[in-house]
Structure 1
């Protein structure tokens, strides 16, 4: 049912779930393609080069441009509008992804060329992911969906992609080879471009007009916008602490996903299907966790949910792979970890929704994501070098210990108390025009 409503800018509009559904669908297909590629590309690099170090280098060359470009495109997303940025970058990602199997078929795909194409994919994927995240609060407002629920649905969508993508990727790699997975990845990016460019309502995702400061300066310059994002984050100790914690866990997750799990799958004889199974089981359990968080997380203490989720999501995965356990036990641990992980991002998303003005969504989102993702390019590189030096099991044990320390000792810091106050029953309900924020410091698993 549609009805007239007034948006945060005071302009009458129609209430509809179509905008939120369209954005979530675009997120789903693009992330599904990315998760398929996350199985196909490391496996292709590992079996063709036989080197864990070079496999880590492939991940490094994708994620370094991703993080760097995403950090600096926030002001441009705010200025141009997230819709235009999203569909154009997805189209560019589809083209770059399609070139890898094309050049491989023509026997022209050297390792340096592979690294260059992977770097190009990362560079254009960063702004595309950012733009979709920025559109979530506007879509939620148009549908009158509460922000915490929108964050939970977005988290569930991401986790669903993490379930379907690895399963499809593992099956495609096992049956048809890794290049087929990259072709499907290109198709997913193309579909995401179509959804954003054609399926969303008109004027959805346009740039938000800047409010001039009291001094009368418009503040439309790129570096002024960029500086505003840094100034805002510098005044938010809780957000900075969250970013640092998740930055460490993202580094560890990247090493596990891009290098340690493929090496474990190869050495254990389980093959690429095991990579897909572990990712899918964890993703499926995370979908359940995210949906439960969307319903109930606002009634719980955020600190308890946050740290319990990380306790389940982190160290157990490293330890079970190091223990030479049977596949059933591995899948059970990954399921428990996924369930815990599903509670983390909705809580973080709701927390950030409350704190960042909409006009600054792009720049603050970009800076927060880039800082928290800064370690991801190094995760695979460090893991690959460490495995080559000391072997798989010691690296898994060290990774599990580091994960436990990073996500528990930081809970003693005083700024975490603000998380509970923001989520308490007496907290004021945030206004969408001042605090609609779609930054989600995403786990990579």
Structure 2
């Protein structure tokens, strides 16, 4: 076969993974833009850190609550259909916010309600895309661990594009323009899922006609399926410990993103562009870290890399904001933190996917993500109240200390040895097809 023919065949083979990663990139970039636009809009119009945190709570509360119960629906209806519908509805609601604001009808209560709807609808859409990663890796003949590494790259890249665009839009045009771009991103993401993914991808798991017999996810009923997901997670100590650790760090990260950094940008006089700069620095190096993880992490032991990543990406970010350091120093520390953090999600993704049977991915991932995200709605709310009561500096120092203790005291538990014990086993005990360039599945 000619090199041109080989290249065409290779691109066709990688289409499933490239398609779902593109959909993730577009949707997550739009979400990052709105994560800057909405808090800044509330902060400058109300001057209240508490109300800024309340907006974050109203988005993430429904997001987390819905995600806990969405898994059986994704398994039964199919992730592709759920993703498409969620993106279309999210786009419509996101566009409604600037339209109501332009018409003078956007009260604070209406904003809270619309933000809550966006969070509730975005939750199943995000889970559906996440669930399609293992299938996309298998169809593209890419080892699962490398696919999760690339998923981490996409997450970090969206964290670079989104904050940079969001900060610039807010500074130059205003926060409502950011929400318009967010709506456009949801529309584009829905088109990618509908058109770019191969036919047949993202169908419901467990249909007897498609799996050669067995029990359909729908046969036991919704609540039976949900109980199965809880029972499986209870029997996995490593996954439960991961959920507990990440739940605490997500709470602190949410407070940092929704309240600490915007208040720091306002009090320091740097303005909204500085918000985009520091998060872009974090995400640029995080993208580099994820790329390195996808390429070479199979040569490294997961556990030491995992905890070193937490050490670098955790407490230093909070402490540098509290120190009064100049903007360039904050950006440097954020960049170093991003580099370490780039190794975390690829490792977490590989560990969880390889331990969950394919027909239960929606249920178990949905429940697990709901647990790990449970603190995010409270992060903005508690962060705003803490800053209002004690001031930004003391709260940042306390958050840094808690972050360090959570990520390193948890590492003393014995189940962390399972991280390396299951490497290369693949999902549900099977090894994914390896690429010709690397016959050994890699860890990322």
Corresponding residue number in structure 1 for 2:442: none
Q: 1:224: Cα distance to partner?
A: 0.8
Q: Would the alpha carbon gap of residues 430 and 72 (structure 1) be closer, same or farther in structure 2, given more than 3 Å must change?
A: closer
Corresponding residue number in structure 1 for 2:250: 250
Supply the distance in 1 between the matched residues of 2:183 and 2:339 (Cα, whole angstroms). 30
Corresponding residue number in structure 2 for 1:297: 297
Q: Would the alpha carbon gap of residues 239 and 316 (structure 1) be closer, same or farther in structure 2, given more than 3 Å must change?
A: same
Corresponding residue number in structure 2 for 1:200: 197
Following superposition of structure 1 onto structure 2, how do residues 47-126 of structure 1 map, counting pairs within 5 Å? Answer: 47-126=44-123
Supply the distance in 2 between the matched residues of 1:413 and 1:135 (Cα, whole angstroms). 31
Following superposition of structure 1 onto structure 2, how do residues 26-41 of structure 1 map, counting pairs within 5 Å? Answer: 26-41=23-38
User: Residue 220 of structure 1: SS of its match in structure 2?
Assistant: coil
Whether the 8 Å CA contact 2:356–2:427 is kept in 1: the answer is no
Q: Would the alpha carbon gap of residues 186 and 54 (structure 1) be closer, same or farther in structure 2, given more than 3 Å must change?
A: same
TM-score, structure 2 as length reference: 0.92
Supply the distance in 1 between the matched residues of 2:332 and 2:148 (Cα, whole angstroms). 27
Corresponding residue number in structure 2 for 1:334: 334
1:151 aligns with 2:158: no
Task: Give the total of aligned pairs.
Answer: 424
Supply the distance in 2 between the matched residues of 1:260 and 1:332 (Cα, whole angstroms). 18
1:237 aligns with 2:237: yes
Supply the distance in 2 between the matched residues of 1:293 and 1:428 (Cα, whole angstroms). 18
5+ residue gaps in structure 1?
Answer: 6-13, 437-445
Whether the 8 Å CA contact 2:293–2:343 is kept in 1: the answer is yes
5+ residue gaps in structure 2?
Answer: 434-444
Deviation by residue 1:67-119 (Cα, 9 ceiling, x = unmatched): 01111010000000000000100000000100000000000000000000000
Supply the distance in 2 between the matched residues of 1:316 and 1:218 (Cα, whole angstroms). 47
Deviation by residue 1:246-272 (Cα, 9 ceiling, x = unmatched): 000000000000001000000000000
Mean Cα displacement is larger for which, 120-129 or 293-302? Answer: 293-302
TM-score, structure 1 as length reference: 0.92
CA RMSD, 1 decimal: 2.1
Q: 1:428: Cα distance to partner?
A: 3.8
Supply the distance in 2 between the matched residues of 1:67 and 1:335 (Cα, whole angstroms). 28
Supply the distance in 2 between the matched residues of 1:126 and 1:316 (Cα, whole angstroms). 30
Q: 1:297: Cα distance to partner?
A: 1.4
Mean Cα displacement is larger for which, 193-202 or 405-414? Answer: 193-202
Whether the 8 Å CA contact 2:225–2:363 is kept in 1: the answer is yes
Whether the 8 Å CA contact 1:210–1:359 is kept in 2: the answer is no
Q: Would the alpha carbon gap of residues 90 and 430 (structure 1) be closer, same or farther in structure 2, given more than 3 Å must change?
A: closer
User: Residue 17 of structure 1: SS of its match in structure 2?
Assistant: helix
